[in-house]
Amino acid sequence: MDVNAYAAPAAGAPLAPFTVRRREVGPDDILIDIKFAGICHSDIHQAREEWGGAIFPMVPGHEIAGVVTAVGSNVTKFSVGDHAGVGCFVDSCRECDNCKAGLEQYCVGHMVVTYNSTEADKVSPTYGGYSTHIVVDQGYALRIPDGLALDIAAPLLCAGITLYSPLRHWNAGPGTKVGIMGLGGLGHMGVKIAHAMGADVTLISHSPGKEDDARRLGADHFLLSSDKAAMSAARNSMDLIVNTVSADIDLNRPMSLLGLNGTMCIVGLPEKPLSVGAFTLTGQRRSIAGSNIGGIRETQEMLDFCAEHGFGSDVEVIAVQQVNEAWDRVVNSDVRYRFVIDIASLND
């Protein structure tokens, strides 16, 4: 089936209309009529070739929410009419220890990333959610709970799980002091989720204008990273910082906010290697770590958690024709707090 999409034709070129061919619905597949697709900063990094190895034309989009319109003969998890989501991968090797443990995001075989990747055959390119339909194996699709509207649910498929997973792994909760660095798509979900888990939350931002929003979203404290006095006063005070910053910045000052045994978990993926001094680590036995999205089981748990707590993402819905302008605004930290494409506009 040929479907309407938007693609980046080459590195750094503006996105333009494109047609992709979706496979026939196989016995284990579902067909999703995509309603909304979130814009993740990773879409921009890849289409602007900031990470290397990009495949063009590229149809980005890995925050996909829609309605199931067909199911294969073996499908038990979904029925026609259900709300379903797709995140950053649509298949994995299914055989490695990580896949078997439900940690498909750390698959050491071939992980089939939703776009800018190849199918299990390692040849056919994958195309993402800036398109009207997607066919996906039921085991790699998520149920979107009733009570979560599809537009505010879409960003949870990447931004939500990318923050939920490390917050769970490092035991954010009552009695823990958590810093979230950067109030963008990922960061605003981090503030909401860490607050809902019961942690004491500090938003660390380079944007002076974001304090009111940070507090409204659930932050107990706001730290402006350029305020040297406030940064010094907060030294050694945090247990965990989840760093969502997309740009190349020095980590020594924010790392010094961590107390004894504190961890900075990197989720932001800037272009250049990170820089941190050895003294910053040894001084308080601090650690630096990383985390990559989440597995299918944990992503479902996160969606159910958000529905239970009554929140999704704070979104600005746009037509696909506005995507290039929206991408520039994301790069300028001018998004409140996730752009979501209304996929109906692809048929305009």
Instruction: State the Cα–Cα distance between residues 24 and 3, nearest whole angstrom.
Output: 12
Number of residues counted as binding ligand NAP (CB under 6 A): 31
**Of these partners, ligand NAP, Zn ion, none, which one is at the site of residue 172 (CB under 5 to 8 Å by kind)?**
none
In the complex with ligand NAP, the residue whose CB is nearer, 45 or 143, is: 45
Member of 4, 42, 98, 202 binding ligand NAP (CB under 6 A): 42
Footprint of ligand NAP on residues 271-310 (CB under 6 A)? 291-293
Phi/psi of residue 111, nearest 5 degrees? -90, 125
Q: Which residues of 163-199 are buried (b: 16+ CB within 10 A; e: fewer)?
A: bbbbbbebebeeebbbbbbbbbbbbbbbbbbbbbbeb
Instruction: State the Cα–Cα distance between residues 98 and 193, nearest whole angstrom.
Output: 25
Residue 231 DSSP SS3: helix
**Of these partners, ligand NAP, Zn ion, none, which one is at the site of residue 184 (CB under 5 to 8 Å by kind)?**
ligand NAP
In the complex with ligand NAP, the residue whose CB is nearer, 77 or 253, is: 253
Closest CA to 95 of 120, 75, 73: 120
Member of 182, 190, 295, 312 binding ligand NAP (CB under 6 A): 182
In the complex with Zn ion, the residue whose CB is nearer, 92 or 138, is: 92
Binding mask 100-139 for ligand NAP (x = CB under 6 A): ----------------------------------------
In degrees, rounded to 5, the angle at the alpha carbon of residue 336 between the alpha carbons of residues 331 and 342 is: 90
Binding mask 202-241 for ligand NAP (x = CB under 6 A): ---xxx--x-------------------------------
Closest CA to 122 of 91, 87, 95: 91
- Contact call for residues 303 and 85 (beta carbons, < 8 A): yes
Member of 172, 267, 302, 303 binding ligand NAP (CB under 6 A): 267
- Contact call for residues 139 and 28 (beta carbons, < 8 A): yes
Q: Interface with ligand NAP includes 268 (CB under 6 A)? A: yes
Closest CA to 181 of 242, 246, 261, 258: 242
- Residues near ligand NAP (CB under 6 A) are 40-42, 45, 158-159, 162, 182-187, 205-207, 210, 244-247, 249, 267-269, 291-293, 330, 333, 335
